[in-house]
């Protein structure tokens, strides 16, 4: 019954988008020059979570349309977020399942994105073990005692499920509420989290962190190895509670040379991916300004690699070895007007066809001043423009 209802809904969606099967079953009329991959067999309706557009693309399989979600889709750009967050600090809000569930669902409700991302932060698991970290509004994570020695490393420890009952509870509730929309769990990668812990807060050049790597490699590797364990523990809690995919954010790795990345960072991120391979969930890896690192980040063990706007998406696909790709609209263009945006989106959709699966996203997070109406229009455009003809 449910299955046939979904079939009808999907057929209606196809029709609304003006998509009819072509003789070769391989093309919709309104798309750009190149076809959007192989025809999608409508008899294989994604009636389960496993066949949702996001999970199909992440596994490199064809689906009904190119899935779309946004990094930082939950957050200050949404008035409903600002309303529920009033009077609560960021890290407090992460410990309240009622708020976590509501905030995670807000962009799904508003935009109909193809995936939800768990509302939390990369420093939540540190805070949960009593580590001295706060999130300063408009600034980011700030650490009371920056790490300088092995005693500092010992203050960092992975969470156990008993430390974070609110994470398990929030994920379980979300998975129930989201139904066929996948929930992405996430963690900060060892380098990006280490940068906050060594610098004491946000940094543009990561100078202290880089100096530490080279001057005291033993201490660096001890810290990065511990942070790999932190990420593994945090991701494991989310996956055990029902998250369908994970994303490891190495947002600031783009500040490193490939040589330093390979020596000081890749083994630790690889440890995280290796541990998570025990679960049947796609693993996404993302960083900003990582054009020169895409191959190495892919080789760390990701199933899907995210790219920012600095590398054309088809070139990114080549660099990551032909894996599924995520990206890569420049968030700055959210303010450039619809005509510009539409052309960019269409170009990205075409370039994304170089990959066995493409997940549409921004090249970095939604800025706080983004217009939700613009994001809504992007979602609808990606989903209709990329809709594949039924076979």
The footprint of ligand CP3 (CB under 6 A) covers: 71-76, 85, 90, 117, 119, 121-122, 135, 137-141, 186, 192, 249, 251, 365
Give the residue with the Cβ less far from ligand CP3, 90 or 213: 90
Q: Collapsing DSSP states into helix, strand and coil, what is residue 202?
A: coil
Q: Which sign does the torsion angle of CA 74, 89, 236, 186 carry?
A: positive
364 annotated ligand-binding residue: yes
Q: How far is the CB of 228 from ligand CP3 (least distance, A)?
A: 16
Q: How far is the CB of 107 from ligand CP3 (least distance, A)?
A: 7
**Catalytic site positions:** 72, 76, 85, 121, 196
Polymer length of the chain: 391
Give the residue with the Cβ less far from ligand CP3, 361 or 384: 361
279 annotated ligand-binding residue: no
269 annotated ligand-binding residue: no
Instruction: State the DSSP code for 384.
Output: H
- Residue number with the smallest Cβ distance to ligand CP3: 251
Q: How far is the CB of 182 from ligand CP3 (least distance, A)?
A: 14
221 annotated ligand-binding residue: no
Nearest-5° Cα angle at 276, 270 to 278:
125
Contact 62, 56 (CB under 8 A): yes
110 annotated ligand-binding residue: no
DSSP 271-312: HHHHHHTTSSS-EEEE-SS-GGGHHHHHHTT-SEEE--TTS-
Contact 39, 389 (CB under 8 A): yes
Give the residue with the Cβ less far from ligand CP3, 36 or 81: 81
Percentage helix, strand, coil for the chain under 3-state DSSP, each rounded to 5: 50, 10, 40
Helix axis angle for 372-385 and 97-111, nearest 10°, is 60
Give the residue with the Cβ less far from ligand CP3, 46 or 141: 141
Q: How far is the CB of 141 from ligand CP3 (least distance, A)?
A: 5
251 annotated ligand-binding residue: yes
Contact 334, 374 (CB under 8 A): yes
Q: How far is the CB of 6 from ligand CP3 (least distance, A)?
A: 27
- Round to whole Å and give the CA distance between 167 and 254: 30
Give the residue with the Cβ less far from ligand CP3, 39 or 362: 362
- Binding-site residue positions for substrate: 72-76, 121, 196, 251, 364
């Amino acid at each position: 019954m449910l299955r046939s209802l979904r079939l009808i809904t999907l057929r209606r969606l196809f029709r609304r988008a003006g998509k009819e099967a072509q003789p070769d079953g391989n093309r919709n009329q309104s798309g750009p020059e190149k076809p959007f991959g192989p025809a999608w067999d409508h008899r294989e309706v994604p009636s389960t979570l496993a066949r949702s557009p996001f999970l199909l693309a992440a596994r490199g399989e064809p689906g009904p349309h190119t899935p779309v979600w946004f990094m930082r889709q939950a957050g200050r750009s949404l008035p409903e977020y600002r309303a529920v967050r009033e009077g609560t600090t960021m890290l407090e809000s992460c410990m309240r399942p009622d708020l976590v569930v509501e905030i995670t669902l807000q962009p799904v409700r508003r935009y109909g994105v193809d995936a939800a991302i768990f509302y939390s932060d990369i420093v939540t698991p540190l805070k949960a073990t009593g580590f001295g970290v706060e999130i300063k509004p408009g600034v980011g994570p700030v650490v009371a005692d920056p790490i300088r020695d092995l005693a500092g490393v010992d203050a960092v420890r992975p969470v156990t499920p008993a430390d974070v009952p609110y994470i398990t509870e929030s994920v379980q509730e979300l998975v129930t509420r989201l139904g066929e929309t996948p929930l992405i769990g996430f963690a900060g990668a060892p380098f990006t989290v280490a940068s906050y812990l060594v610098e004491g807060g946000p940094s543009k050049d990561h100078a202290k962190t880089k100096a530490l790597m080279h001057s005291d490699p033993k201490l660096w590797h001890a810290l990065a190895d511990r942070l790999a364990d932190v990420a593994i523990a945090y991701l494991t809690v989310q996956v055990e509670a029902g998250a369908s995919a994970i994303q490891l954010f190495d947002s600031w790795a783009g500040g490193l040379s490939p040589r330093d990345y390979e020596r000081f960072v890749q083994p630790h991120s690889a440890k995280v991916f290796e541990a998570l391979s025990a679960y049947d969930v796609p693993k996404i890896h993302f960083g900003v300004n990582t054009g020169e690192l895409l191959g190495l980040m892919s080789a760390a063990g990701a199933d899907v690699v995210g790219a920012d706007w600095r590398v054309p998406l088809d070139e990114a696909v080549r660099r990551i070895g032909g894996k599924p790709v995520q990206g890569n609209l420049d968030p700055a263009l959210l303010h450039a007007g619809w005509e510009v945006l539409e052309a960019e989106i269409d170009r990205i959709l075409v370039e994304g066809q170089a990959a066995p699966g493409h997940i549409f996203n921004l090249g970095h997070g939604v800025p706080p001043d983004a217009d939700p109406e613009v994001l809504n229009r992007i979602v609808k455009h990606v989903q209709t423009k990329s809709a594949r003809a039924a076979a």
